[in-house]
Chain A
Amino acid sequence: MVYSMIEPVGEKTIERIGNLGRFSRFFARAAQASLVSCCSPRSYPGIWTQMHLIGVRSVPVVMITGAFVGMVLAIQAYDQLAGMGLEERLGVLINIAVVKELGPVLAAVMLAGRVGGALTAELGTMNVTEQISAVQSMGTDPIKHLVAPRVLACLVLTPFLIIYADLLGILGGYFVSVIQLKINSRAYWDFSAQSVELWDLNMGIVKGFFFGGAIAVISCYKGFTCREGAQGVGQACTEAFVGSFISILALNFIFAVVMKAIYSTFWPIQSLL
């Protein structure tokens, strides 16, 4: 009786740990293959193709996300600040929120949906139709041939996409604040410039590097381990998105904690202000 209750728990645990181990090995091999591909010009055309598919095609969707985030922040925050007579500082709030958190995170989430889904579906279909085994059977490492270019493209381009999201977020917030809410344009920019630091902007962009890596590795892993049939591919896509999404949020949290520690070590006084 007790035994039959404990057994499934143990079984699940073993399975989870096994999966984690397999993912870690995949991650290590993907990282190694990406490093090698980085240094070998032979693989550049493949990376270039992926950059086009992953990066260029994602610009519109990321820009739209950014713009709406900026605009909605302006509308939501205005009343609170206006109530205290601080409406001219609206730009501070919008721009810090966009540049530090919302721009990077929401751009990454959009990418997880757009790129992650496409990567998992593509690799998953290749897996169930034995194309991945075919690559391997011809003496080519599928991780180097299929995963590395996708990981590199995501790593390099996610930060750039975040810049686009930030830019549009700032512009969207500006238009709503100045044109609709009639805030003085000069004051809006002056207050923003005083309080948003280059550090904030850079940290948002650096995060993109980690988010991009997480999206690519998780999506490729789910594609590579996808089960047979159309249902298998569909499920792998869902799991890839959920996995990427949670990783983005978790990484973002870890990043915030670590960066705060670093920041207060180097600039202890400012953080007290």
Chain B
Amino acid sequence: MAKYVDKDDGIIVVRNLVKMFDRRVVLEGISLALEKGKTTAIIGPSGCGKTVLMKHMIALERPTSGEVYFKGRRIDELNERQLAAIRTQYGFCFQKGALFDSLTVYENIIFPIVQHRKITDWKAIDDLVKNKLAMVGMDGYQEHLPASLSGGQQKRVALARAIALNPEVILYDEPTTGLDPIRSDIINELILKLQRQLQITSIVVTHDMRSAYKIGDRIIMLHDGKVIADGDADHIRNHPHSIVQQFVHGEVNEADLAALRLGGTKFETQYLPEDFE
């Protein structure tokens, strides 16, 4: 599957990316080129390295080997100061929202702005905050502290903060996890709206297939640190690989079930189906 990707093939290009934590390999030679203006969904079971892969795209993690490019420029070797200019072109929505809990919603949203610009016109900033919050349906909550908001509201404010600097790329880490189906659909619609209105390139990590089908122009499945499926929704739906099928249908495989029946707690990796016959 290892096909060659050029650094100019997309707005974000990852080439032969290997990441090890201590001696454990989490990503095992990933090559991807993500197209500008498209929404890519990265799916895969929990703990397969989706977040780690996404963090490499903004250089929050550094590769053990391999390269990461943004707009044709190699970013994995830049130092923190050089990266500052690159990172302002990104918005990152963290899994848990990651709002600053000592700051109000308003202060959270102006944070990236005051960090990078000298503000003279506060009226314009107020309007900008209002505008960004309205986009995620949270206008009027400016003076609230994050702790007083529900999980879904926090994620929406985090989204507003991520678009404060008008980024070209937004990285969403499990934007719908932990939300009820209606709230997660609101988030899906928001992602679609932002992409259509602002022509933003979106990368969405998720293990929610409904959401992946709905928003993904392209869906990439990670398993054991490798890309095992890559294509549009139909391609994934009809993918021949059994692991992909199990994942998209949310089915447990036979080995895990057999282990459960035996009252064991060890899964798949320890048992083979034959062991129980």
Contact = CB atoms under 8 A, between A and B. Distances in A.
A131 interface: yes
A139 interface: yes
Contact of A138 (B81, B96, B101, B111): B111
B141 interface: no
Nearest to B112: A138
B96 A129 contact: yes
B88 interface: yes
Nearest to A137: B92
Interface in A113-139: 126, 129-131, 133-134, 136-139
Contacts of A145: 115
Interface residues of A, number: 13
Given A137-B58, A137-B87, A140-B84, A130 B94 contact: yes
Contacts of A136: 60, 80, 87
A197 interface: no
Given A129-B98, A139-B115, A140-B115, A134 B84 contact: no
A141 interface: yes
Interface string B5-30: 00000000000000000000000000
A134 B115 contact: no
A139 B98 contact: no
Given A139-B87, A139-B116, A140-B115, A133 B80 contact: no
Interface in B150-182: 165
B100 interface: yes
Contact of B100 (A131, A137, A141): A131
A28 to B, nearest CB: 13
Which of A126, A129, A137, A145 gathers most chain B CB within 10 Å? A137
A131 B95 CA distance: 11
Interface in A126-181: 126, 129-131, 133-134, 136-141, 145
Contacts of B95: 130
Interface residues of B, number: 25
A131 B90 CA distance: 16
Contact of A137 (B81, B90, B96, B99): B90
A130 B87 contact: no
A141 B80 contact: yes
A133 B98 contact: yes
A145 B116 CA distance: 13
Interface string B81-124: 10111111010101110111100000000011001100000000
Nearest to A134: B98
Contacts of B81: 141
Contacts of B60: 133, 136-137
A134 B83 CA distance: 14
Contact of A133 (B83, B94, B165): B94
Given A139-B112, A140-B115, A131 B101 contact: yes
A131 B147 CA distance: 14
Given A139-B115, A139-B116, A141-B80, A131 B98 contact: yes
Nearest to A144: B80
A142 B58 CA distance: 15
Closest 4 CB pairs of A and B: A139-B87, A137-B92, A134-B98, A139-B84
20 contacts: A129-B101, A130-B96, A130-B98, A131-B100, A133-B60, A133-B94, A134-B92, A134-B98, A137-B60, A137-B87, A137-B92, A137-B94, A138-B88, A138-B112, A138-B115, A138-B165, A139-B85, A139-B112, A139-B115, A145-B115
Given A129-B101, A131-B101, 19 more contacts: A126-B100, A129-B96, A130-B98, A131-B98, A131-B99, A134-B99, A137-B60, A137-B92, A137-B94, A138-B92, A138-B112, A138-B115, A139-B83, A139-B84, A139-B85, A139-B87, A139-B115, A140-B115, A141-B81
